[in-house]
């Protein structure tokens, strides 16, 4: 019995295209989840400073939803061997590649701008003179930042010494999480005596997080590009096989 390598090749191409589309859908879902989390994170920096980056996240989610729809569309075409659907799928992927490149460039530019805006805000806000009215609000903002990012001061705990203030309670994680006032006082005392507070400044910590997020997003865009390029090649292969089969059947029916 002879092995039909052509049939095996066609079957492998369909399976690979389905697996590839499944991976694209999975990546898109992960990117959507990341974008939602990122939007919630950016809200702490204020609407005015993060609005452009938030728009970028919305653009990413929109592109990911489109990618899910296109991948599902291409999977239907691969299963049915429908040439029209497969060529439409290839066309949609080409549009997606261009769209993703535009979104990636926009997000990169906005992230870069956000770094400058945040740096300026952090420096101005930490060292600004506060009155008794806004002292509590100012302290809450920095308590939230320091507890969330596990940092202390602008560039480190020594910044509190520079402004002639005690190191914030939120710089000491165990003391800050304590429920009773007595426990907070004791744990804070041990924290200060043993230098158990966070040693990294909030500016470096936040910028590091923003840069890692930008790197991750660019990595996703590059991964999607290669997946989409492979999807176009496989879809072309499956479509050509379907055309060849249709032509061969027509020739066979004539004889």
- In this structure, of 48-52, 63-67, 69-73, the range with the lowest mean pLDDT score is 48-52
Q: Taking 60 as the threshold, does the pLDDT of residue 4 lie above it?
A: no
Percent of the chain residues past pLDDT 70, beyond the cut: 89
201-223 confidence digits (pLDDT tens): 999 998 888 888 778 878 888 88
Please report the pLDDT score of residue 248 as a whole number.
Answer: 67
| Distance separating alpha carbons of residues 253 and 182, to the nearest angstrom | 92
Q: How confident is the model at residue 3 (pLDDT cuts 50, 70, 90)?
A: very low
Mean of per-residue pLDDT scores for the chain: 84
For 214, the token pair is: 């930008």
85-128 confidence digits (pLDDT tens): 989 999 999 999 999 888 888 888 888 888 888 888 888 888 88
- In this structure, of 45-54, 157-166, 182-191, the range with the lowest mean pLDDT score is 45-54
Please report the pLDDT score of residue 1 as a whole number.
Answer: 42
Q: How many CB atoms lie within 10 A of CB 113?
A: 13
| Distance separating alpha carbons of residues 56 and 243, to the nearest angstrom | 41
Please report the pLDDT score of residue 252 as a whole number.
Answer: 63
Please report the pLDDT score of residue 151 as a whole number.
Answer: 93
Q: Of the candidates 118, 80, 76, which has an alpha carbon nearest to the alpha carbon of residue 210?
A: 118
**Residue 74 near residue 17, CB atoms below 8 Å:** yes
| Distance separating alpha carbons of residues 115 and 52, to the nearest angstrom | 12
Roughly how many angstroms between the first and final C-alpha of the chain, as a whole number?
26
- Range 36-59 average pLDDT: 74
Name the E strands within the chain. Answer: none
Please report the pLDDT score of residue 71 as a whole number.
Answer: 92
Number of Cα atoms under 13 Å in the Cβ half of residue 217: 34
Q: Of the candidates 19, 79, 97, 32, which has an alpha carbon nearest to the alpha carbon of residue 59?
A: 32
222-247 confidence digits (pLDDT tens): 888 888 888 888 888 888 877 777 67
Percent of the chain residues past pLDDT 90, beyond the cut: 25
Q: Taking 60 as the threshold, does the pLDDT of residue 5 lie above it?
A: no
Per-residue burial over 235-253, b if 16 or more Cβ lie within 10 Å, else e, is: bebbbebbeeeeeeeeeee
176-195 confidence digits (pLDDT tens): 988 888 999 999 999 999 88
Q: How far is CA 241 from CA 73, 82, 92, 142, in A?
A: 19, 11, 20, 63
| Distance separating alpha carbons of residues 100 and 24, to the nearest angstrom | 13
- Range 78-85 average pLDDT: 86
């Amino acid at each position: 019995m002879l092995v039909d390598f052509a049939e095996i090749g066609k079957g492998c191409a369909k399976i690979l295209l389905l697996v590839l589309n499944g991976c694209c859908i999975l990546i898109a879902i992960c990117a959507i989840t990341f974008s939602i989390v990122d939007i919630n994170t950016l809200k702490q920096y204020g609407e005015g400073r993060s609005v452009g980056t938030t728009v970028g996240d919305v653009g990413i989610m929109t592109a990911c939803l489109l990618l899910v729809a296109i991948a599902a569309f291409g999977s239907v075409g691969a299963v049915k061997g429908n040439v029209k659907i497969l060529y439409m799928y290839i066309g949609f992927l080409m549009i997606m590649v261009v769209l993703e490149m535009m979104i990636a460039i926009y997000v990169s530019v906005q992230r870069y701008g956000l770094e400058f805006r945040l740096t300026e805000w952090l420096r101005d806000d930490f060292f600004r003179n506060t009155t008794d009215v806004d002292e509590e609000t100012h302290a809450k903002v920095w308590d939230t930042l320091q507890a969330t990012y596990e940092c202390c001061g602008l560039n480190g705990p020594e910044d509190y010494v520079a402004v002639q203030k005690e190191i914030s309670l939120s710089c000491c994680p165990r003391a800050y999480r304590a429920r009773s006032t007595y426990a907070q006082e004791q744990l804070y005392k041990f924290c200060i005596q043993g230098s158990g507070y966070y040693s990294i400044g909030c500016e470096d910590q936040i910028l590091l997080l923003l840069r890692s997020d930008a790197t991750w997003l660019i990595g996703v865009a590059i991964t999607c590009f290669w997946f989409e390029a492979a999807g176009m090649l496989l879809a072309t292969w499956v479509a050509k096989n379907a055309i060849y089969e249709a032509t061969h059947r027509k020739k066979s029916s004539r004889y």
